[in-house]
Structure 1
Amino acid sequence: MKRFVALCCCVLLMGCQPDIADIQLQIDQIKATTSVSIEPYPEFKRMPVFEYQAQDKRSPFQRLSAGISEAPVVTQKNCLQPDFKRKKQPLERYGIDALEVKGSFTAKGNKWALIQSTDGGLYKVKQGDYLGLFFGQVTAINNNTVEITEMLPDGTGCWQRKQAKLTRASKAGEQNNV
């Protein structure tokens, strides 16, 4: 049996003679009939030299120094303003379109909602808590929805209230949950 296998291997190897004359003839015919035209590189216009003239100005990538202050915020009297001095709550780092309602429950007479952020954090909120980027305050918690009142700047230094809802049916990242 070993001799038969060795004989078969020898026969197969003898069939692998490098006879490439036919292939070489075909390649020569293709090269003779095909003409290659290479377009010249395009001419590039020389651009004028630009000299940077703002070396003496403040770099936009550095923080303002103590001597330079930002433009003062002009506020009108007797218009709606959020409480800027209030300590921010954890859910105020997220836009409300990045939050999902996962459930609600009642404990010791208080209605709570479970809110999940896009980074996987799960938070509980009650009426009066803040969430969202625009000073959103939870105004009501129902079985499937959390109602929020946000405060949006109107461009004149005042703020306007806007109602929004988060529902269990909406998913984070969708625009229909605001």
Structure 2
Amino acid sequence: MPATLTLLLISACADPGLPELEAYAERVRARPAGPLEPVPEVALVAPFPYLPRERRDPFMMDEQAADVAQRRNPSGISPDPLRRKEPLEGYSLDSLRMVGTLEQDQTRWALIMDPDGMLHRVRTGNYLGRNDGKITRVDPTELLLTEIIEKAPGEWDQRQASMALKQ
């Protein structure tokens, strides 16, 4: 039975128009090739001599740019790029909900629910939201935090934000 089925499948692959296709392919191969267009001339470009002694190192910060950045941000406020990010900093503040508080060993914790439904426990000093929001106080009905926002390129400022308990 399997041999009969295999023979039937193989014979179904035979195409009666195959000899006609082979004859057409032979006729196309027998045609003379047309003339080729000449290869265009390539213009030579003079090499640029790079003399590193005359230029600043592109991998080092320019002192003048550092001075401008310092003058632009006289407050000295800026996010700490070396600080390890906390899980709730991956969400916008609007997408997080404060759903409760609890107190343990003289420490008040806020219970924050993320958009995925996960519950997180945070306290004063923790960070949340995308603007480097540092929690400054946890009250039974709200959470207060200070965010660092960029007013202009290289110019940072602080703003106060809060999150109220959602019932």
TM-score grouping bracket, smaller chain normalisation: 0.5 to 0.7
Number of equivalences = 102
Q: Deviations over 1:34-75 (max 9, x none)?
A: xxxxxxxxxxxxxxxxxxxxxxxxxxxxxxxxxx98xx9963
Q: Distance in 1 between matches of 2:112 and 2:96?
A: 6
Q: SS where residue 119 of structure 1 aligns?
A: coil
The 5-angstrom pairing of residues 1-178 of structure 1 reads 75-76=69-70, 78=74, 79-169=76-166
Q: TM-score, normalised by structure 2?
A: 0.56
C-alpha displacement of 1:169: 3.4
- Contact kept in structure 2, 1:92 and 1:133, CA below 8 Å: yes
- Contact kept in structure 2, 1:129 and 1:138, CA below 8 Å: yes
Q: Distance in 2 between matches of 1:100 and 1:144?
A: 12
Q: Distance in 2 between matches of 1:82 and 1:89?
A: 14
Tell me which residue corresponds to 1:63.
none
Q: Distance in 2 between matches of 1:169 and 1:81?
A: 31
Q: Deviations over 1:137-166 (max 9, x none)?
A: 000000110001100001141211011110
Q: Distance in 2 between matches of 1:93 and 1:81?
A: 18
Q: Deviations over 1:87-119 (max 9, x none)?
A: 000000001000000100110111100000111
C-alpha displacement of 1:76: 1.9
- Contact kept in structure 2, 1:145 and 1:166, CA below 8 Å: yes
- Contact kept in structure 2, 1:76 and 1:158, CA below 8 Å: no
Q: SS where residue 76 of structure 1 aligns?
A: helix
Higher helix share: 2
- Contact kept in structure 1, 2:99 and 2:166, CA below 8 Å: no
Identity, % of aligned pairs?
Answer: 32
